[in-house]
Amino acid sequence: MSLRGIIIAVVVLLVPATAQIDDATRKLSRDIFKQLIEINTTDSSGDNTAAARAMAKRLLDAGFPESDVKVLVPAGRANKGNLVARLHGAGTLKPILMIGHLDVVEALRADWTTDPFQFVEKDGFFYGRGTQDMKSQDAMMVTTLIRFKKEGYRPSRDLVLALTSDEEGGTANGVDWLLKNHRDLIDAEFVLNADSGGVMTDKGKPVDVEVAAAEKLYADFQLTVTNPGGHSSIPVPDNAIYHLADALGRLEHSPFPFELNGVTRAYFERLATHETAQNAADMKAILRNPPDQAAIARLSADAHFNSLLHTTCVPTRLNAGHANNALPQTAQALVNCRILPGHSAEEVRGELIGKLADAKVSVRYEDGSSGKVLDRAPNEAGALPGAPRADVLKPLERVADSLWPGAPVVVDMETGASDSKYTIAAGMPSFGIGEEAIDHDDIRAHGKDERLRVSSYYEGVDFFYRYLKAITK
Ligand SMILES: [Zn+2]
């Protein structure tokens, strides 16, 4: 190689990777993104069905047959439609399901600098409700399917896309409804959820590429103590508030047991290689058999580590009494639990009863989707994740390294909850792979002036194309 050749090679290596997409793809992906942002899909006044239909039309126009593009609307919920589309593959392996929600959190024009339902490009950013969460990824996935169709690309297995309603709230969750009513259409070996995971950047520079490979289970419990009450001038020891307060005090001092699974074990193994000395030693010590109890206690002082290592249950609401001068007849608390994979809400309800240790405190399950309070909680446990799947992660590492060089892929467990909670409960391993780059101090999902860097958007368009191709070659 000539000196000039070497210089060019070095310069090329130093130029940060940017999206390798042509102008037509750039325009197509931008048009789809704009169209989605400008269809209001809030629970209060939006129309999810309109967004689902708009995306269906795009796929039909690109050559998908009508039999493979369905807009499915729950009875009596005209605005809560969902899209399911399928690109047929060549092989006999079970399909891959990709999910994304079309609905967005409410946004008030008065709070925003721009109109949240207008797609605005300024200062190198796209503004609008859903630019981060998650019409961007929806548009990336639709763009990718259209590109695949136009190329005549035949994946090794079916790729199914479900764009759904009511992830952010509301009572018509599309993933839940599709699983209950159209399981055959979305059944898959595993699920790629574009709503979690992500590329963390610092002033645009990639720090890490996050993949959520497990998720905790969400459960609300209503604790109630009832009592005949009476006049507060002649108090008796049997008091509903004391019963409840004492029981909550016992809960506070009785954490759920330490437990690792395939994903958290791999996460701490990896983190131990670049943590501070004490943290690194503690992480290695909790991976041993038996784990070191002092190390567990030290790591659990960190709220995030604590939530990775334990099921957590914490009171979030309290309500008691009916008059200043009367003994309380009712005392109630809401306890919110985030349950480790492998355990059911009913199992945790039983453990709560044991920890509260007072037969006067009833523990009932509050079902978020129906609003009903039930005597028993669901018995289904979130599937226990194994070590992260190589067929999902190896291609992701390769593609991520070309787009965000130097940023390690970090596989972790989501401590919050996304629609993966439904697919995991239905027995489909689910991975959060919504890889779009957002600065750690510019997370505006659910907030005002939500925005996404223009370059991050096109990188994401490139990522989804390359990654979905890499796992279906
Ligand atoms: Zn979301």
Ligand 1: centre distance to CA 72 (Å):
20
pLDDT of residue 18: 64
Ligand 1: centre distance to CA 167 (Å):
7
Ligand 1: centre distance to CA 37 (Å):
14
pLDDT of residue 209: 94
* 161-216 confidence digits (pLDDT tens): 999 999 998 889 999 999 999 999 999 999 999 999 999 999 999 989 999 999 99
pLDDT confidence tier of residue 383, bands split at 50, 70 and 90: confident
Mean of the pLDDT values across residues 130-158?
A: 97
Ligand 1: centre distance to CA 102 (Å):
9
Please determine, for residue 417, whether its predicted confidence score (pLDDT) is greater than 90: no
The answer to whether residues 437 and 114 touch, using CB atoms and an 8 Å cutoff, is no
- Measured distance CA(453)–CA(174) in Å, rounded: 29
Closest CA to 137 of 61, 197, 182: 197
Least confident of 76-80, 311-315, 417-421: 417-421
Concatenate the DSSP letters of all residues of 440-469 into one string: TT---TTSTT-EEEHHHHHHHHHHHHHHHH
- Measured distance CA(471)–CA(159) in Å, rounded: 10
Ligand 1: centre distance to CA 152 (Å):
31
Mean of the pLDDT values across residues 249-259?
A: 97
Q: What percent of the chain has pLDDT over 90?
A: 85
Ligand 1: centre distance to CA 237 (Å):
48
**445, amino acid identity:** A
- Measured distance CA(284)–CA(269) in Å, rounded: 7
Ligand 1: centre distance to CA 363 (Å):
31
**Residue with more model confidence, 369 or 464:** 464
Ligand 1: centre distance to CA 142 (Å):
17
* 91-128 confidence digits (pLDDT tens): 889 999 999 999 999 999 999 999 999 999 999 999 99
pLDDT confidence tier of residue 1, bands split at 50, 70 and 90: very low
Ligand 1: centre distance to CA 35 (Å):
18
Ligand 1: centre distance to CA 306 (Å):
24
Mean of the pLDDT values across residues 16-20?
A: 64
Ligand 1: centre distance to CA 130 (Å):
9
Ligand 1: centre distance to CA 155 (Å):
27
Ligand 1: centre distance to CA 417 (Å):
10
Closest CA to 345 of 383, 309, 379, 371: 379
Ligand 1: centre distance to CA 434 (Å):
10
pLDDT confidence tier of residue 343, bands split at 50, 70 and 90: very high
* 128-140 confidence digits (pLDDT tens): 999 999 999 999 9
Q: What percent of the chain has pLDDT over 70?
A: 96
Please determine, for residue 12, whether its predicted confidence score (pLDDT) is greater than 50: no
Ligand 1: centre distance to CA 371 (Å):
21
Ligand 1: centre distance to CA 250 (Å):
35
Ligand 1: centre distance to CA 419 (Å):
9
pLDDT of residue 421: 86
Concatenate the DSSP letters of all residues of 277-298 into one string: HHHHHHHHHHHSSSPPHHHHHH
Please determine, for residue 2, whether its predicted confidence score (pLDDT) is greater than 60: no
- Measured distance CA(58)–CA(85) in Å, rounded: 11
Mean of the pLDDT values across residues 307-317?
A: 97
pTM of the predicted structure, to 2 decimals: 0.84
pLDDT of residue 141: 98
